[in-house]
Amino acid sequence: MNAVRFFKEAISSLLSNKMRTFLTMLGIVIGVAAVISMMAIGNGAQESITSSIESMGTNLIFISQNNDASNPEALTLSDATAISEAATQYIAAVAPSVQNSMSVSYSGNSITAQIYGVTPEYESVRNTAVSEGSFITQSQVDERSTVAVIGVDIAEELFNTTQNVVGNKIRMGSYVYTVIGLLEKQGGSFSGSSDNQVFIPITTAQARIISRTNAHDEISMISISATSSDDMESAIEEVTKVMQNQHGILGGEGNDFTVMSQESITEAASSITGVLTIFLGGIAAISLLVGGIGIMNIMLVTVVERTREIGLRKAVGARKRDILTQFLIEALVIGLVGGILGVLVGAGISAVISKIAAFSETVLNPKVSFSSVLLSTLFSIGVGLVFGIYPANRAANLEPVEALRTE
């Protein structure tokens, strides 16, 4: 039969009770909007995490202690030295670092920052550039100077400015440090941003910031840059060999250190945010399901209310199938229109969140993907159909005699 006619009829019958239709639809609208915006936020988070990791450079290798190993031997400066001594053409630079978080203060202002003890190589390995002053030099490392290079957030917080900060004296723990450099603004709120970091010579850090009971030689991490991103595998292999040698690990034994590349971190982060996206989407999908139950509820009421109409339609020749189709199409229209409105609302929410994120300088760009639009629209139509079947079937199976008798 004429499909357009069916739809016209369904729409006119839905319009005959606008308030109820709207409320029924609202369940679907909210459900779809939730799915769309949650997926968009998840995708946006994934993208900004990935890009912030990638901004560290594609040829980075990190070595850290493997805490899953039994009795792991700590990383030491001599490990770093061994790697740089054994370095072949695959490895460009090696930068050991120690890390701790600590309060930094300047005339009453104070902020908790990540303190890194580094060598001059850190600047090139980790792509950190100074916008004012200079980075840590070898002689400062040798002399254990009390000097610091700070990130823009730190400068903002302590001096309320990011201009002419070199020369200021800041306090960390019981020592006073002279600011010798300000880092370029990096942006991004995820790992890898140096805006909230303070760099001091590694020797100074080992002596004054990191309190270790045993070896002062201990370090937190070794950052290594490969000569090119094409040589990553060879570089990782080489580094691993040197480290196994250093820590006396025989072939077949588990390593007590972890070698990670920027790529593997990106992968790990992506899989985490992927799970997050699915999780958020799943929770949102539950509300869509609840919306579907709303459809079923209202359709059941509608069937009871329109029993006489159904009786009449049957009396003038409507078959079971005709009645079934009529009610299914009504449910489908609710699902479809609700789905479309939901996509629009969801896109709106994503846009608002993106504005809020931009306003608070958080890098988060919710992305409404075509696949999530398609998926949730199809899902809402499906929900309409599935939850419409029971009421529609009930309508179709009404006995015409009984239906006509109802008041």
| Contact with another protein (CB under 8 A) among 313, 336, 339, 392 | 313
Of the pair 4, 250, the CB lying nearest another protein is at 4
| Contact with another protein (CB under 8 A) among 129, 176, 315, 356 | 315
Of the pair 173, 400, the CB lying nearest another protein is at 400
* b/e burial code for range 332-362 (CB count within 10 A of at least 16 → b): bbbbbbbbbbbbebbbebbeebbeebeeeeb
Q: Please, what is the minimum distance in Å from the beta carbon of residue 54 to another protein?
A: 60
Of the pair 304, 378, the CB lying nearest another protein is at 304
| 20 makes contact with another protein (CB under 8 A) | no
Scanning 110-118, 195-203, 295-303, 397-405 for contacts with another protein by CB under 8 A, the matching segment is 397-405
| 11 makes contact with another protein (CB under 8 A) | no
Of the pair 169, 321, the CB lying nearest another protein is at 321
| 317 makes contact with another protein (CB under 8 A) | yes
| 57 makes contact with another protein (CB under 8 A) | no
Residues 360-389 close enough to bind another protein by CB under 8 A: none
| 319 makes contact with another protein (CB under 8 A) | yes
Number of residues engaging another protein in binding (CB under 8 A): 22
Q: Please, what is the minimum distance in Å from the beta carbon of residue 397 to another protein?
A: 9
| Contact with another protein (CB under 8 A) among 10, 13, 21, 96 | 13
Residues 292-311 close enough to bind another protein by CB under 8 A: 308-309, 311
Q: Please, what is the minimum distance in Å from the beta carbon of residue 320 to another protein?
A: 6
- Chain centroid, CA 28 distance in Å: 26
| Contact with another protein (CB under 8 A) among 68, 267, 401, 406 | 401
Scanning 10-18, 253-261, 283-291, 380-388 for contacts with another protein by CB under 8 A, the matching segment is 10-18
| 19 makes contact with another protein (CB under 8 A) | no
Q: Which residues bind another protein (CB under 8 A)?
A: 1, 5, 12-13, 16, 308-309, 311-322, 400-401, 404
